[in-house]
Amino acid sequence: MNADDSEIENISLGRALIADTWRAQVEAVRAEKDPAKRKALKAALPCFTPSGTFTHVSRAGLVRHSGFISLDIDYKPEKGINTALAGYDLKAAISAVPNVAYCGHSCGGSGYVVIVPIADPAKHREYFRALAYHFERAGLELDPACKDVTRKRFVSWDADPYINTAAQPWALTLPEREHATRETLGRDLDASETAAKVEAVIKSCEANRWDITAAEGDWWRILCSLANTFGEAGRDYAHRISALYPGYTPEETDAKYSRAVKHPEYKDQIGTFFYIARQEIGKHDFDNLGL
């Protein structure tokens, strides 16, 4: 595992999760009532990358995947996020899930971190989407940032974590299919509503630097969704959303979008664009975009 970029060090996942090393610092974070001071105390904690070892913390710097995916289940009732956790012992309930290797409180003390072994490290993002879907069915929202193999987390401490050393690797992915706006948004949209919602999604991604195109398959389906909905008029949307990917080039995006425009047999419609965006940026943030 890795500490922050400023001082990379390999440590075991077990030590990062269950050692008492940072107990006093974590308890200080939890005891602090002043939000600014609490934030500063949290920022002073070491970070680690549960999903791999790195030369530098980027996908290009990945040396070896750990075989685990880390899930954050935040409790933010003031924002309507995971209100079901109020008075609920997730550690006790999650013991019924054979794929969970670890469950403990995050450094703030109210949310949880869940560690799941995965069958194929190459499918990290696909597994996350499936896990997010199943947790959502149980009434819980995962932090969408955990889809990234480079995801850092602060060290924490839990007096009584749930640990299962015989956890079964997660191997389920969600099949690719079309999604209607009614399925994703709860209703159909007319042309002006569709354009307004697409604009709202892209503006929010630009403002927050959210890249929803990092997975090659998702990028192609997003381009097809825009092409089948807007035709040539959607090319600017395609460039704006694609430009958030670090490896973006206008030439490649133009070529891909032209292919999507010329081949309407790729049937993804705008509901699929909204579905991918909702999965990538998080249910709460997406639903708060309006419409």
For residue range 57-87, list pLDDT tens digits in order. 887 789 999 999 999 999 998 888 899 899 8
Average pLDDT value for residue range 271-282:
91
Q: Is the pLDDT of residue 3 over 50?
A: no
Instruction: Give the H or E element holding residue 205.
Output: helix 191-208
The string of pLDDT tens digits covering residues 219-230 is 999 999 999 999
Give the pLDDT confidence score for residue 1 in this predicted structure. 44
Residue-wise pLDDT for 136-156, tens only, equals: 888 899 998 898 899 999 999
Question: What Å distances lie between residue 89 and 111, 153, 275, CA to CA?
Answer: 11, 22, 30
Give 102's Cβ-side CA count (13 Å radius). Answer: 21
Q: How confident is the model at residue 4 (pLDDT cuts 50, 70, 90)?
A: very low
Give CA–CA dist 180/164, Å, rounded. Answer: 39
pLDDT for 2 equals 44
pLDDT at position 17 is 93
pLDDT number for residue 279: 87
Per-residue model confidence (pLDDT) at position 291: 61
Rounded to whole angstroms, how far apart are CA atoms 90 and 105? 9
Q: Give Cα 159 to chain centroid, integer Å.
A: 27
CA–CA gap between residue 27 and residue 40 (Å, rounded): 14
Instruction: For residue 181, give the nearest of 269, 264, 279 by alpha carbon.
Output: 269
pLDDT (0 to 100) of residue 287: 83
Q: How far apart are CA 212 and CA 206, in angstroms?
A: 11
Q: How far apart, in whole angstroms, are the C-alpha atoms of residue 224 and residue 237?
A: 12
Where residue 6 falls among pLDDT bands split at 50, 70, 90?
A: low
> Structural domain boundaries of the chain?
5-163, 181-287
Would you state the pLDDT for residue 169?
Answer: 98
Closest CA to 164 of 124, 115, 106: 115
Q: Give pLDDT, residue 216.
A: 79
Q: What are the C-alpha distances in Å from 61 to residues 1, 48, 55, 119, 179?
A: 13, 14, 5, 22, 34
Write the single-letter amino acid at 94.
I
Is the CB of residue 282 less than 8 Å from the CB of residue 141?
A: yes
In whole angstroms, give the CA distance from residue 270 to residue 174.
Answer: 19
| Helix-, strand-, coil-residue percentages of the chain, each rounded to 5 | 50, 10, 40
What number of H helices and E strands is found in the chain? Answer: 12, 8
Question: What backbone torsions phi and psi does residue 46 show, to the nearest 5 degrees?
Answer: -65, 150
Residue 56 · residue 8 · CB < 8 Å: yes
The predicted-structure confidence for 158-211, as pLDDT tens digits, reads as follows 999 999 999 999 999 987 778 889 888 888 999 999 999 999 999 999 999 999
- Residue 232 makes CB contacts below 8 A (sequence gap 6+) with 261
What pTM did the predictor assign? 0.74
- Residues in a beta bridge with 112: 73, 105
* Per-residue DSSP letter, 170: B
What tokens appear for 32 in the block? 């602090």
**Distance between CA atoms of residues 1 and 167, nearest Å:** 20
